[in-house]
């Protein structure tokens, strides 16, 4: 991945992690609730930050986020959130979870 721009490296990392999560990990959960999804999502974010940090921390690499320059961890988190939102909504609809309902938080 040496010749790719740094932004594309992070976007590929995000896409791969989200694909594994939404096509493998999340559907295989025994009971799917919003609380459990978010718990797994926090772990996914930590993994993304560790890998992106390993690639870019201390390198001084700047990332272009449309009109502003940012660092690796802000770019990683913001692009992951933007990429994940439609997947999250699709997954919730598919599994009958209303993410805006208080019942979605129940782990019982």
Mean pLDDT of 9-14: 97
Query: Residues 32, 33, 39, 45: what is their CA dihedral angle, to the nearest 10 degrees?
Result: 70
Do residues 44 and 17 make contact, with C-beta atoms less than 8 angstroms apart? Answer: yes
End-to-end CA distance of the chain: 44
Instruction: Return the domain boundaries, the chain.
Output: 6-98
Average pLDDT over residues 62-90: 95
pLDDT in tens, 21-75: 999 999 999 888 888 999 999 999 999 999 999 999 999 999 998 889 999 999 9
Distance (Å, rounded) from C-alpha 91 to C-alpha 29? 13
Task: Quickly count helices (H) and strands (E) in the chain.
Answer: 3, 2
């Amino acid at each position: 991945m040496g010749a790719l721009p740094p932004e594309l490296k992070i976007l590929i990392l995000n896409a791969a992690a989200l694909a594994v999560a939404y096509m493998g990990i999340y559907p295989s959960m025994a009971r799917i609730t919003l609380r459990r999804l978010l718990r797994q999502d926090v772990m996914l974010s930590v993994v993304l930050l560790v890998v992106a940090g390993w690639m870019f921390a201390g390198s001084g690499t700047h990332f272009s986020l449309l009109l502003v320059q940012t660092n690796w961890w802000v770019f990683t988190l913001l692009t992951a959130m933007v990429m994940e939102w439609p997947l999250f909504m699709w997954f919730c609809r598919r599994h009958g979870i209303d993410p805006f309902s208080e019942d979605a938080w129940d782990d019982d």
